[in-house]
Each structure stands twice: as structure tokens, then as C-alpha cells.
Amino acid sequence: MGNSTISYDFLAPRQIVFGWGRRRELGQHARRIGRRAWIVCGSSTLAEHGVLAELRELLHDEMVASAELARLAHEPTVTDVDRAVEQLIDQGVREGDFLLAVGGGAAIDLAKAVAAMATNRQSNTIRDYLEGVGRGLTLDADPLPVVAMPTTAGAGAEATKNAVISSYGLPVNENAVISSYDPPFKKSLRDNRLIPRLALVDPELTVSVPPAITAASGMDAITQLVESYLSRKAQPIPQALAMQGLRLALPSIAEAVREPASRGARERMAHAALLSGMALANSGLGLAHGVAPALGVHCRVPHGVACAVMLPAALRVNRLAREKELAHLARVLLKLDHATSDELAVGRLIERIAALSREIGIPRRLSELGVRAEQIPAIVAGSRGSSMSGNPVQITDEHLTDILEAML
């Protein structure tokens, strides 16, 4: 870390329950948190496969009421949040209420945002609380508690202190309300109290995730682990977690994509994703995550895919500034001889990560994702968020333009 003294805070969920099949413990944990669960569900597949009904029965058995508040098939928008909050307020928020998020990072982020807006009513729109786009409002009252049950192994949102919310300026589906906000954005609501009260991580819930989503979400976790390890805000506990997460994820992601029912691969990826959430919540990220939101709002590139495509480029940009740290990662993860030079070790690590992305079907170039040269100025302008501030090397707009143009 380059400092002679160590000083840090560390944030994590109050309780983590991890293990295959442990979703069946939901009721007994939920009853200690509240008396009514507002459910945010990330996929209709969960309902079709009976998972939602199972979870509601588990709550009922422990005398915890439940009601489904929202289902989400895309990354949450300002409209999604405002609509769900309006529904919740209309039905009445009372003591003992909490949010239960069952899904990927999008569902968990929506639940966090709703939990915050349910108790903070200085504005009727989440936009006014988002970093850099609204009125700069902050959360005065504690959000409602959140119980997070991830069904993908990627974002680690079950352990983070932010909710990522977008506005595209266009409807995301036929029934969506057109947003009046311009230009498009993807920004965070950020507060330490948004970290879920309980992260209940059952890797069995990830078995039905399709290979393409397994690949993209898994690379999101790997990118988070690498970037938090290298971040200029890096801290000792997150770095240790990141190393452990990478030891789990790098040998497992291809197996999880190739053999979706592999219990071992699914467990290792779910654990790595959880660790990545705690790492980024405490150490921040870097270039790949700085650019990914802009690729999402301007080019509709899925977040995990954007991270995966950008990671090798980010490592090349940062290799000299973080050569010692990258060489250490390479020696541990690739089991290299300690006589291997730092320069060679770092090169092999970057090659390994790029090859891994190709193996699981991630495109190599931005042009393969539909990104056009005329979109680059908007992408550059949209890449100035919190994540970029953690990058080890300061990136000017001109430098970022060169990086992106070279990736077309």
C-alpha cells in the first residue's frame, strides 16, 4: 500500500449466511429483522421455478408477512425506483418492514434504493439523491433493513454500500415510462447504511443462470477483485479478501459456464462474488468500472461484459504503477517460479485474464459490442465517477479517448 502507517475502516453486512441450500433458513433469520418483507424479485424464472413461493412459505412459517413489490428484468432506472417507492408508500410503511431482494445485482440495487427512499422523503425522486446528477440530497433517516439473496455470482451487491441507478432517456421496454432526464446517466446512491443487514448467499440459486450471464457476472466479480486490490484506496483486509476471491474465481469461472450444475464451481464463484462486494465497498475500483457505466447507458453494453472487455486494457494502463502488486498476484494465482521477473509475471497475468475472457465467450473489442467511434466522446464524458477516482494512474480525457479508440 506504500504507507508506513495503517489506518482504515471496514464495512460488511451485519450477518452473512453462506452455503448450498441455506435459503431454507430465511424465515428464522428474517423474523429477527422484521415482521413484513417487501420482495423485489430479479427474474420471472424464480417465480416460474417455485423459488419465490418457497421463500414466501418460509417467511410465513415464521410469522413474517410478505408482499411482492417489484420484478425487474433489467438494470434499475430512476423510473423503476420512483414507481416502486410510490407503491410502497401508498400501501403504508410501518415499523418492522424490510426489503427482501432475490435476484442479481440489479434487484438488490433496486431494493436498496427503495429502502432508502421509503424513509427519506425530502424528494419524490431518487434522482435527487444520486451522485453528480440531482440536488445532492443525502439520507437523513436510516433506510429500511435489506435482506439480500443473490441469484447470480457477480456484482457482490449483497455486500456493497451503493445502489447503481440509470436513466436512459428512452423506455427500456414497451410498458416503461419515458424518462425526461437528459443526458443518460448511470450513477450511485451511496451510504454506509445501504449495506444489507443480512446477506444470505445460497450458491444453489445460481445453477439456473444461463452460461452467457454466468460468464458476464463472473467477470464482473473478477474485475472487482482485481481493481479493488490495485486501487489507490486499497486497504489490507479488502486486499486479503480479493486475493482469496481470485484464487477461487480464476480456476472456476470457465467450469461454471461450461457445466452450470457443477456445485463446486458455483460455490466458489458465489463466494468470490461476495468477497468482491466487500472488497470494492472498502477499497473502491478503477478504470474498467469507471468506463463500464458509460458503455451501459450509451451503448447498452451489459455491465459484466463491459468490465470484462475493459479489464485487460485497464491492467496494461496500470501495470507500471502497480507492477509489484500485479507480479505478486501473478505468482500466487499462476503458480509462477519466484525467479520470474516482475515484468514477465505481469505480462502472463494479463494474458491469462484475456484468454479466460475469450474462453467463456467475451468479445475482445468494443466494436464487437456495437460501440461506434462517434460514441467515444460521450463515453469519455460519462466515465468520471467514483470508480475512476480509485484508478492507480490518473487518466485524462485524451488518454481515455486513445485507449477506447484503440479497442474499436
Positive or negative, the CA dihedral 199, 249, 333, 386 is negative
Element (H, E) at 249: helix 236-249
Domain boundaries, the chain: 15-204, 209-406
**Which residue, among 277, 258, 255, has the nearest Cα to 267 in the 3D structure?**
255
Task: Write the pLDDT tens digit of every residue in 286-341.
Answer: 999 999 999 999 999 999 999 999 999 999 999 999 999 999 999 999 999 989 99
**CA-to-CA distance for 316 and 313, rounded, in angstroms?**
5
Q: Is 261 helix (H, G, I), strand (E, B) or coil?
A: coil
The yes-or-no verdict on residue 180 having pLDDT over 60 is: no
**CA-to-CA distance for 320 and 147, rounded, in angstroms?**
41
- Torsion over CA of 9, 316, 152 and 239, rounded to 10 degrees? -30
What is the structure's pLDDT at 177?
45
Distances (CA, A) of 181 to 91, 166, 170, 333, 377: 28, 10, 9, 45, 19
What is the structure's pLDDT at 213?
96
Task: Write the pLDDT tens digit of every residue in 226-252.
Answer: 999 999 999 999 999 999 999 999 999
The yes-or-no verdict on residue 182 having pLDDT over 80 is: no
What is the structure's pLDDT at 5?
81
Length in residues, the chain:
408
Mean pLDDT calculated for residue range 347-367: 97
Question: How far apart are the two ends of the chain, measured CA to CA in Å?
Answer: 34
**Do 342 and 324 meet the contact criterion of CB atoms below 8 Å apart?**
yes
Strand segments, DSSP code E, in 263-386 are none
Per-residue confidence band for 45, with pLDDT thresholds at 50, 70 and 90: confident
Distances (CA, A) of 32 to 44, 57, 63: 28, 17, 11
Q: Which numeric CATH code is attached to 15-204?
A: 3.40.50.1970
**Which residue, among 104, 168, 164, 113, has the nearest Cα to 139 in the 3D structure?**
113
Task: Write the pLDDT tens digit of every residue in 85-95.
Answer: 999 999 999 99
Mean pLDDT calculated for residue range 258-263: 98
**Which residue, among 59, 57, 70, has the nearest Cα to 109 in the 3D structure?**
70
Q: 345-353 long-range contacts, Cβ below 8 Å, gap at least 24?
A: 346/315, 346/319, 349/315, 350/312, 350/315, 350/316, 350/319, 352/250, 353/222, 353/226, 353/311, 353/312, 353/315
Whether domain 209-406 has CATH 1.10.1370.40: the reply is no
